[in-house]
Amino acid sequence: MSANHKVSEGQAIILGFRPESFAPKGHSLHGDANALAIERTVNIAEPLGTETILYSDLGGREVQGKMLNPRVVTEGEALSFTLDLSRLHVFDKASGRSVIA
């Protein structure tokens, strides 16, 4: 998140991220320096050649991650994902508007 954020204390927010920001460790474009490690179980693996889209649950919602230089992933397999915190999108829950300046 940038220093120009507009989040107030107690404000309800929604965090969003793109699939390329959520990837199995060692299979992303981002490094681990600004990343959060999250263990998740893969519900569906969709191989697309040079990448695989992985579907998992996080916070009661289905999320997608992108695995570059993929290997075979089986449904039900637990993986250590990394979430690139510098690429998060923050939205006000009530209005749905972005709160990043």
Which residues fall within 8 angstroms of residue 70, CB to CB, at 6 or more apart?
A: 27, 47, 50, 51, 52
pLDDT digits (tens, 9 = 90+) for 20-47: 999 999 898 876 778 899 999 999 999 9
**Who wins on pLDDT, 83 or 4?**
83
The CATH H-level superfamily of 19-85 is Nucleic acid-binding proteins (2.40.50.140)
pLDDT(15) > 80: yes
Task: Supply the pLDDT for residue 4.
Answer: 54
Task: Supply the pLDDT for residue 1.
Answer: 43
* Torsion of the alpha carbons at 22, 66, 99 and 4, rounded to the nearest 10: 70
All structural domains of the chain with their residue ranges: 19-85
Look up the pTM and report it: 0.82
